[in-house]
């Protein structure tokens, strides 16, 4: 579902992502683990076409993300939860995204309910807590009912209730047959969540194996 081949990103002398090759399969949560600065965000941003690769390719369901006829229906992404305009209501943020992607208006109320924001959807996002902004980001990711989800550090800064909620959502999305890629710098976040583990360090691939094999080997 996501295929990364020889993906490399240089910033001058710094090789942020160094010849990465891996696949993210449907029906699994794939954990993308590495310490801060390892190159996780840069990799995810290249998969989503937000950063240009120095070399190599990344495709989603066979096409580069920027070539997808309807991006939100191809990939749901959660990058920076604070990216939502504070003056906008959750409802209008989602409505604008839906309109731009040929998604029916009724789906907006559906995803607001799915993430538990139905009661506050008409309030401005500027008044939201981090956990609520995270839920709004997830609502945007689910809007197009995409077969692939890419979440960058989705558990960061959340309270225990939010962590349990996002974790069970990712499990459910994988059980429905979606490919779910989540990054984290914490092994403890992976153990309860991921079926498969990809580990990077200094931009290079260190491990790519089922979680149970990784645990047995370490
Ligand atoms: P992670 O997400 O694993 O914390 P990043 O992908 O953010 O890692 O960063 C990987 C490396 O690339 C780091 O050394 C970081 O300093 C560098 N880097 C990331 N973005 C830029 C940029 N825009 N310009 C220069 N260096 C960058
Ligand atoms: P712009 O209209 O400024 O070019 P976009 O339409 O790409 O920007 O994105 C606008 C908003 O939609 C941003 O908040 C972004 O985070 C969100 N967004 C874009 N693509 C996706 C996606 N695949 N999944 C989730 N949110 C997305």
Q: Which ligand is nearest to the CA of 201?
A: 1
- pLDDT given at position 130: 86
- pLDDT given at position 170: 97
Burial class (CB in 10 A: 0-12, 13-18, 19+), 80: exposed
Indicate the average pLDDT of the chain. Answer: 94
Cα dist from 165 to 134, 140, 142, 185, whole Å: 11, 16, 15, 19
CB 29 within 8 A of CB 214: no
CB 161 within 8 A of CB 168: no
Three-point CA angle 39, 45, 48, nearest 5°: 145
Pocket test for ligand 2, best of 102, 135, 140, 154 (most atoms within 8 A of CB): 140
Neighbouring C-alpha atoms within 13 Å toward the C-beta of 30: 25
- pLDDT given at position 172: 97
Average pLDDT for 149-155: 95
Distance CA 165, CA 147 (A): 20
Q: Which ligand is nearest to the CA of 184?
A: 1
Atom of ligand 2 nearest to the CA of 80: 16
């Amino acid at each position: 579902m996501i295929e990364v081949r020889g993906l490399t990103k240089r910033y001058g002398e710094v090789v942020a992502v160094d010849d990465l090759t891996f696949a993210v399969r449907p029906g699994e949560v794939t954990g993308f683990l590495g310490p801060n600065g390892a190159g996780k965000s840069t990799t995810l941003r290249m998969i989503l076409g937000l950063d240009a690769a120095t070399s190599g390719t990344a495709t989603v369901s066979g096409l580069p993300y920027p070539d997808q006829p309807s991006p939100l229906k191809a990939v749901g992404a959660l990058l920076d939860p604070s990216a939502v305009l504070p003056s906008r209501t959750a409802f209008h943020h989602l409505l604008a995204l839906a309109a731009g992607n040929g998604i029916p208006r009724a789906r907006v109320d559906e995803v607001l309910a799915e993430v538990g924001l139905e009661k506050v959807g008409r309030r401005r996002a500027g008044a939201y807590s981090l956990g609520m902004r995270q839920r709004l980001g997830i609502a945007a990711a689910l809007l197009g009912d995409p077969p692939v989800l890419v979440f960058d550090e989705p558990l960061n800064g959340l309270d225990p209730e939010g962590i349990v909620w996002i974790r069970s959502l990712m499990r459910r999305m994988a059980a429905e047959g979606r490919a779910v890629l989540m990054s984290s710098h914490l092994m403890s976040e992976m153990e309860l969540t991921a079926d498969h583990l990809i580990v990077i360090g200094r931009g290079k691939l260190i491990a790519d194996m089922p979680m149970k094999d990784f645990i047995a080997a370490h």
